[in-house]
Structure 1
Amino acid sequence: MHAVIQLHIDAPPKPAAGQPCNGCGVCCASEPCPAGVLVSRRTQGACAALLWREAGDGDVGGGLYRCGLVEQPARFLPKAARWLAPALGRWARRSISAGRGCDCSLSVG
């Protein structure tokens, strides 16, 4: 099946499966992970928690995509539950297997 996903023009190219994540955004733009399903309230299409980081945003690694549930978990919680943000961030890191390498098998062309 073919699908078109929208990515920032400056997004890095998708790495090969198993290679370190480079923030290309292909995986999260194609469908949300289990954590993203809760935030996006959908199982298809781009994840609502997918964040674009411009180069020079004051942190290392600009010009790439990042998971908002990891980087800004409080943003996705109601005000009364923002105290849960650290736990949500840790859970999201485990959910997306952060640091384990690219697990997206999609081919980009």
Structure 2
Amino acid sequence: MHAGDAQVIWLHRQAPPKPVAGQACNGCGVCCATEPCPVASVFLWQYRGSCRALIWAPDAGRYLCGMLTQPARYLRWLPQRGEAWFSRRLARWIAAETVCDSTVSAELQAEPASSQAENFPK
């Protein structure tokens, strides 16, 4: 993307707001919804768009990385007994859940008027 270009990403309504870069990660999902991380690029061969391993965790009220929580779901070749070991390596590689390293500016936008109108009784 070029400077001044806007990208629209869709996140769960209850997702926490994006923290300022350098603050603690809160699972807002903005970074992974904006672009795939190195893990997604290497293991999922995904280079653009929202990461397909981004998972909404309703009980936690935050987003989680499916490659960290259930890597065998995405990597059929990975035996389940190797998941914990693999997850620890990936988490360390991308410094998962440490601090926010996304410099993306995220703004909450209202739903388009057409979808709001559909929610009103007639």
**TM-score, structure 2 normalization:** 0.75
Q: 1:70 aligns with which of 44, 55, 68?
A: 68
Q: Residue 37 of structure 1 aligns with which residue?
A: 41
| Structure 1, unaligned runs of 5 or more | 56-61
Greater alpha carbon shift after TM alignment, 88-97 vs 36-45: 36-45
Aligned length: 102
| Structure 2, unaligned runs of 5 or more | 108-122
1:48 aligns with 2:46: no
Q: Distance between the aligned counterparts of 2:78 and 2:44, measured in 1?
A: 18
Q: Percent identity?
A: 45
**TM-score, structure 1 normalization:** 0.83
Bigger Cα Rg: 2
Q: Residue 7 of structure 2 aligns with which residue?
A: 3
CA RMSD of aligned residues (A): 1.5
Do 1:14 and 1:26's aligned partners in 2 also have CA atoms closer than 8 Å? yes
Q: Residue 101 of structure 2 aligns with which residue?
A: 103
Q: Distance between the aligned counterparts of 2:52 and 2:37, measured in 1?
A: 11
Letter in 2 for 1:81: L
